[in-house]
A = this chain, B = another copy of it.
């Protein structure tokens, strides 16, 4: 059977070595220990402090202090900024190594922030590190790397289907040595955080250029006049104050021409830098969440009885558990492979792998969490269980960085195009086939 070349299939090469590097092992063990010994107790305290009545759009008294203590501890122990792959300024972790660690971060909600590895700062730091000017780095990358400020990424717009990024409509017009920005963005995560000082903002600067050269990315300090926070967007009814997912109006916002990143019309180019690892980090952490959901499903399944049996053994529950385990292992391997592909092939060549895991993981993990909820009964959707929060968080990922459908389109087209480009006789199915 003559087949157009199979996708990504080469048994010989390093793509299939999914072992964590030896160099990363101490860090991995250290992170796990640090989460257990430092992050989880800190988080319990954080939650308790949050129960005191206070302005919801500020952190509760004492919260930032306990966070800073933990951050300083992380920094002192060298557990800091290790998300940056292969960079001079970072630890130089491979994406593959980071994938293993990120699964651990996914199990403890505040772990990423304590070790300065939280989105969207990670993507923003990566962009600044790769394309920022010395001045831009000095002013924004440095305090971000130090964990002194936080940042946001302003891309999605309410009025257009921004899954097709060519639709982005917020305009930036050069007026003298300033860009004047007008438009509306929403779901700008973290922009409500009092510590958020800078937004990387996607704007249309060049409406007359070819479609993928019309967009630019530009630095907008959050305190620039004209930046108006219209309110928080909700996710399944929650506003996640005080960080929030803000709805922002840019009303004649003026920033210096030097705030432009990389250059006018190069917005999509920057997206390539950001979206590879950024997209996969979510998926890595989501593996950790799936593991946590299965853990809860099992704990409930063995500790409660109905109709004379432990719930785990009732009806089809054992098969639900089995399918969850199987799919978690399959997704873990796919995430590791995509991470390795970025290490070996680079972000551009690895983009199909990234789209594969982006389309695969959040959808299936939503189902696993949903099944865990069902096994819990009503408690599963209550505040006594983390499951509903895990669910809405992962459900939201099915839109973030492109909805599932766009990633399936990318993967499907890649398959089809290999065949469209094949000579005709390669696509003539062989008639002969007998067992």
Contacts and interface: CB of A to CB of B under 8 A. Distances in A.
B12 A295 contact: no
Interface in A288-337: 291-292, 294-296, 298-307, 310-323, 325-326, 329-334, 336-337
B234 A336 contact: no
A435 B193 CA distance: 14
Interface in A356-403: 356, 359-360, 374, 377-386, 388-393, 395-396, 398-399, 403
A158 to B, nearest CB: 7
Given A374-B398, A378-B399, A411 B326 contact: yes
A8 interface: yes
Contacts of A304: 160-161
A318 B307 CA distance: 15
Interface stretch (A134-142, A262-270, A413-421): A413-421
Contacts of A435: 109, 240, 389, 393
The majority secondary structure among interface residues of chain A is: helix
Contacts of A337: 329, 333
A175 interface: no
A14 interface: yes
Interface of A: 1, 3-4, 6-9, 11-14, 16-20, 22, 25, 28, 40, 43-44, 46-47, 50, 100, 107-110, 156, 158, 160-164, 167, 186-187, 233-238, 240, 291-292, 294-296, 298-307, 310-323, 325-326, 329-334, 336-337, 356, 359-360, 374, 377-386, 388-393, 395-396, 398-399, 403-405, 407-413, 415-416, 418-420, 427-435
Nearest to A240: B435
A319 B419 CA distance: 16
A364 to B, nearest CB: 10
Contact of A164 (B306, B356, B359): B306
A161 B12 contact: no
16 contacts: A1-B107, A12-B20, A12-B22, A17-B18, A44-B432, A156-B378, A187-B378, A236-B392, A237-B383, A240-B435, A296-B429, A301-B416, A303-B428, A315-B405, A374-B405, A381-B396
A66 B103 CA distance: 52
A235 B236 CA distance: 10
Nearest to A311: B161
Contact of A12 (B25, B158, B318): B25
A434 B22 CA distance: 33
A336 B10 CA distance: 13
Nearest to A435: B109
A391 B235 CA distance: 12
Contacts of A9: 332
Contacts of A18: 16-18
Contacts of A332: 9
B292 A415 contact: no
B43 A314 contact: no
Task: Sort A-B residue pairs by CB-CB distance and give the 3 closest, nearest first.
Answer: A316-B316, A386-B433, A318-B412
A398 B320 CA distance: 17
Contacts of A3: 107, 291-292, 295
Contacts of A404: 374
Contacts of A307: 164
A30 to B, nearest CB: 13
A318 B319 CA distance: 13
Contacts of A234: 381-383, 388
A337 to B, nearest CB: 6
A245 to B, nearest CB: 8
B299 A428 contact: yes
A108 B382 CA distance: 25
A4 B321 CA distance: 15
A382 B334 contact: no
A47 B434 contact: yes
